[in-house]
Every structure is written in C-alpha cells, then in structure tokens.
Amino acid sequence: MAAPMLRFVTVPQGMPEKRAAESRRHDFGEIYAEYAPAKAEEQAGRCSQCGVPFCQIHCPLHNNIPDWLMLTAAGRLEEAYEVASATNNMPEVCGRICPQDRLCEGNCVIEAAGHGTVTIGSVEKFVTDTAWERGWVKPIRPALERAQSVGIVGAGPGGLAAAEQLRRKGYQIHVYDRYDRVGGLLVYGIPNFKLEKTIVERRAAWLGDGGIKFHLECEIGRDITFAELRRRHDAVLIATGVYKARDMQAPGSGLAGIVQAMTYLTASNRKGLGDAVPEFESGKLDADGKHVVVIGGGDTAMDCVRTAVRQGAKSVKCLYRRDRENMPGSMREVKHAEEEGVEFVWLSAPEAFDGKAKVQTAIGHRMRLGARDSTGRGAPVKIEDSTFRLPADLVIKALGFDPEPLPVLFKAPELAVTDWGTIKIDRRTLMSNLDGVFAAGDIVRGASLVVWAIRDGRDAAASIDRYIQAKAANAGITAAAAE
C-alpha cells in the first residue's frame, strides 16, 4: 500500500487581530444585547404553529414552545415567561447553552422546510431576561411549611432544579456542595462567553431568598459522612455530577504544560470571577501567546479551544480521531470555533509529546474510519507512517469524564453503581438501592447536558415528594408545621 501523503498542518503565526475581533461575535452578552423586542417578536412570529410540535417533543423538558412563541409574537411577554418557566427551572440558562441544533431548533419544521429555524433558544433567553429585569420572577413562598427536610448533594443544575421544586412544596431544603459557589459546571466548567456567571449568581441568590440553605465548601464523605446526611434528612438526593477526567498514556504525557480540561477551564472561570489564581497568573494555565493543542471532539474541547482564542493564543488546534460528521460536539460550536480561527485536525490522534522541561511539540498520526463500533460510528484506525508534528506550548486533554467512585468516597459500599460507576436507580422512582436516597443528573446518565440534569432534578423532586408523603401517611403525619 502506498504511504499516505503526510499533511503538515499550517500553523498561523499569531491570531490576527481581525480574527480576534470576529471571535467576539459569538459571545452571548454581545449577541443578545442587540436582541431587541422587535427581533424576538419577529422570530417568534415565524413559528408556523404546526400541528405536531417536534421542537417540544425533542426538548427534554417538553417546554410548551409554540405557546410561548405565540405569546411573544403578540408582545405578551409576561405570559410568555410564565409558560416558559412552568416547565423549566432555568430558562435563561437553557436559552443560552442548550445545543439547540440537536434539540428543539434542530427539529423545527421551518428548518426542515429549508427556511432556517425559529431561534427558539434566543427567544427563551430574551423572554426570561426580560422577566428578571421587570420583576416578573416572583420569590418562592411556599403555601405551607413542612417539617420534613431533604439533603441535596451537589449545587449543579440537577440539584438546584430539585431544590426549587421541593422548596415550592414547603420542604426544608439543604444543598451541600464542595465548591465555594453555587452552580456546579454552570460556574466552573462552562465558560463565561457562553454563560455569564452573573446569570448563575442571580439564580442562586433567588433560591437562597426562597429559603433554600446552601452549605458550601462542604464535601460529603469528607466534612460530613453520608450516613450522617441520611440521619439528618427525610430523603437525600445525590446530584454530584461526573468529575473523573479520562486520561491518556503516551510518551511525554507527564511533561509540564499538559493539563486536564477542567483544570484549565476552572482556572479561567475563577480568573473571570476575580479570584486569585496563581497558576493562571504564573502563565501555566494561560494560553496567551502560546501554541495550544486541544485533544478531543466534545463540547468540553470546544470550550477549551474557544477559551484559548480569547486568552490570545498564537494558534489553536483541535485534534480529533474521527471526522467532522462523527464528532460528539455541537456542529454550531465547531462552526463558531472555526470562524474564530481554530484549526481542526480531523482524523488524527496524539501519540507522544516532546520537550525539555516542558512540552514543545505534540506528535500525532493520522486515522481512518474502519468498521462501525458499538457507538454506531466508524472505529478510528491508525494509518501507519502518517506521523506529524505540531508546535505545542500548552496541551489540553478534553477526553471526557467518568464518575468518581462514590461508594468509596461516601464510605457507603452498599450504594449500588453500574459497571460505568454511575448510580443505579429505579428508572420509575429515581431511587437508588438505598431507601430514601435518590439520584439525578450526570451521576446517573454519565456526562450529559444541563437540560437533562434539570429534567432529572424535577423528576426526582416529584418522586421524593411522593416518597415522603407516603411515609408520612404511613406514620399518620400529614403536614407538620416547621418552626
């Protein structure tokens, strides 16, 4: 077989100023600053109110999209907000960061007819931001206070959605999180240019005002035992997300300058929040002036490449072992990244890293797609003698996440997990094998989406309510007034 032609990727020397300026086009704050009521009404008015709302079916929350679009088109924004918020605990977040091209908008019949989707996410975001500005987002004031309490481990979207739903029913809600801020990956994973942190802070403050108690920098398994948590509360929800970064072993992979995606993104987010971040200030986790190579093809990789562009990287390359059609990340994100100057090196994988004290070169090889694997996609196969070298001062590994070993961390070996380490639940009740212990979000699904975590949180809340009420009924208690 003839040796395949080697293609050395051209490295742009310096991110041109024009490109940096163009990159800002995709910062949400700037796009939506221009998203005036007239634009929202115009977009909403494009909805054909088709008989079969595929957008609604494909939204994990089954949001009543046609109705809120109709109300927006009629200028009845407060009612539109009421409809939008009836099924979604964070419409302003989902409107910004749902991969709409794979969910509601990707199934819009107008899009299917070739006329371009109604920008559902943008309208959802616009309507909810307007509601916050005009004071239509009313505080949580339960009609009755219940004595029973629920302990929620994890202040990410799954835990927060459950907290709100249960608090509305009058339960005493305590949310525990090992981070110092409320929001989980909304704060420390997703970059500010996609989701401004003030949006998450506003939601967190509102939940606190509604009577939800947050116990921050409190790690279950370290600061409080899982057994103690179960003793304290009538039910417990585990919504801890997935944080064990997948890694790769290759010669040179221990060199300085090779970091995990979450380490890199957390530093960037903390910096943006005004925290002191010595590893950023020392330059270790700052892409400014560097040749950056990101490994992976998911949404986390997209966030890394786009963050590196914004930090002023000299060049940003993304190595992914499959092709564009078979990457897991959102196509919209790829398009944005390309417009911002990121170069995708499709069908390629790293095999080694070179450098003296720190990484200087990433050595990769070409791949082709072979027979389909268990994911239904062509399995990447190495092409022999196809090695290439890329300059790399900073290498970011974005290979995905697995669950941490919760039974070990919680010192609860009796907590059943699947072969993948996610918590085993009864799909009907979302309860684990332990009585009164429920689970929701990424720790059940594996790395997923915010909107699915919200959906799970809502479902878990409904199930926890039924569980507590059934127990109370058995014990002859209906609703005891709390202090």
Residues that bind ligand SF4 (CB under 6 A): 59, 61, 63, 65, 88, 94-95, 98, 100, 103-104, 120-121, 124, 451
Candidates 77-85, 124-132, 377-385, 442-450 — which segment interacts with ligand FAD by CB under 6 A?
442-450
Is 97 a binding residue for ligand FAD by CB under 6 A? The answer is yes
Choose the contact partner of 157 out of ligand FAD, ligand SF4, none; CB within 5 to 8 A by kind: ligand FAD
Q: How far is the CB of 50 from ligand SF4 (least distance, A)?
A: 15
Binding mask 214-243 for ligand FAD (x = CB under 6 A): -----xxx-----------------xxx--
Query: Which one among 15, 80, 98, 277 touches ligand FAD, defined by CB under 6 A?
Result: 98
**Secondary element (H or E) of residue 230:** helix 226-232
**Secondary element (H or E) of residue 382:** strand 378-382
At 453, list the tokens: 């975590």
Candidates 116-124, 175-183, 249-257, 462-470 — which segment interacts with ligand FAD by CB under 6 A?
175-183
* Size of residue set near ligand FAD by CB under 6 A: 36
Q: How many CB atoms are located within 10 Å of the residue 72 CB?
A: 28
Return d(Cα 67, Cα 16) in angstroms, integer.
45
Q: How far is the CB of 399 from ligand SF4 (least distance, A)?
A: 26
Question: What DSSP character marks residue 237?
Answer: E
Strands 359-372 and 348-355: antiparallel
Which CB sits closer to ligand SF4, 301 or 451? Answer: 451
Positive or negative CA dihedral for 423, 429, 434, 439? positive
DSSP 188-247: HTS-TTTS-HHHHHHHHHHHHHTTPEEEES--BTTTB-HHHHHHH-SEEEE-----EE--
Which CB sits closer to ligand SF4, 131 or 258? Answer: 131
Choose the contact partner of 211 out of ligand FAD, ligand SF4, none; CB within 5 to 8 A by kind: none
Is 158 a binding residue for ligand FAD by CB under 6 A? The answer is yes
Candidates 29-37, 49-57, 178-186, 266-274 — which segment interacts with ligand FAD by CB under 6 A?
178-186
**Secondary element (H or E) of residue 165:** helix 157-168
CA angle 376, 7, 246 (to 5 degrees): 45
Strands 172-177 and 437-439: unpaired
Q: In what order do the strands lie in the sheet with 437-439?
A: 213-216, 172-177, 149-153, 235-238, 437-439
Nearest to 450 by CA among 81, 64, 103, 181: 103
Q: How far is the CB of 329 from ligand SF4 (least distance, A)?
A: 17
Is 448 a binding residue for ligand FAD by CB under 6 A? The answer is yes
Candidates 75-83, 213-221, 358-366, 465-473 — which segment interacts with ligand FAD by CB under 6 A?
213-221
Q: What is the dihedral of CA 467, 472, 473, 479, to 10 degrees?
A: -110
- Cβ distance 353 to 363 under 8 Å? yes
Choose the contact partner of 400 out of ligand SF4, ligand FAD, none; CB within 5 to 8 A by kind: none
At 353, list the tokens: 């890293």
Q: How far is the CB of 120 from ligand SF4 (least distance, A)?
A: 5
Q: What residues have CB less than 8 Å from 79, skipping those under 6 apart?
A: 71
Q: In one letter, which amino acid is 284?
A: K
Choose the contact partner of 464 out of ligand SF4, ligand FAD, none; CB within 5 to 8 A by kind: none
Question: What DSSP character marks residue 396?
Answer: E
Q: How far is the CB of 64 from ligand FAD (least distance, A)?
A: 20
Is 442 a binding residue for ligand FAD by CB under 6 A? The answer is yes
Q: How far is the CB of 164 from ligand FAD (least distance, A)?
A: 13
Tell me which residues touch ligand FAD (CB under 6 A). Answer: 97-98, 153-159, 176-179, 184-185, 189-190, 194, 219-221, 239-241, 265, 299-300, 303, 409, 441-442, 448-451, 453
